Amino acid sequence: MIRFGKDMVRQVRERVRDGKGEVEMIHAFTKEELNGKARLCALTRIPPGASIGYHPHEGEAEIYYILHGQGRVNDNGNIQVVGPGDAVLTGGGASHSIENIGEEPLEFFAVILLYD
């Protein structure tokens, strides 16, 4: 399956997981298209100063692959600065958050995998 960028669903959400500001998600594929093995497959953009709040992942795991910008991740208490080429994996009941601490949009590809 090929999905062209012009055909992807764009979503802007306020205060995602009680974070700050707006977050834009461009959904590459739907949960149904991924046979129920993933519930999110999206390019995520967070403007400077905005964030996705701290939240758990029970029965699933989330991967962030950082493409552009600089962020601060709290991965179950391990707080690190991340940038292009870095990746984060949170799952098995652990929690995480991510905040844009740079001057440019923070862009990363996010995938949430569902455990059986």
Structure confidence at residue 61 (pLDDT): 97
Quick one: average pLDDT of 68-95? 97
Q: Are residues 66 and 45 in contact, defined by beta-carbon separation less than 8 angstroms?
A: no
Q: In 10 A of CB 108, how many CB atoms?
A: 24
Distance, CA of 86 to chain centre? 13
Quick one: average pLDDT of 11-29? 98
Structure confidence at residue 36 (pLDDT): 84
By the 10 Å C-beta count (0-12 exposed, 13-18 middle, 19+ buried), 64 is classed as buried
- Which pLDDT tens digit goes with each residue over 85-98? 999 999 999 999 99
Domains, the chain, ranges and CATH? 8-45+57-104 (2.60.120.10)
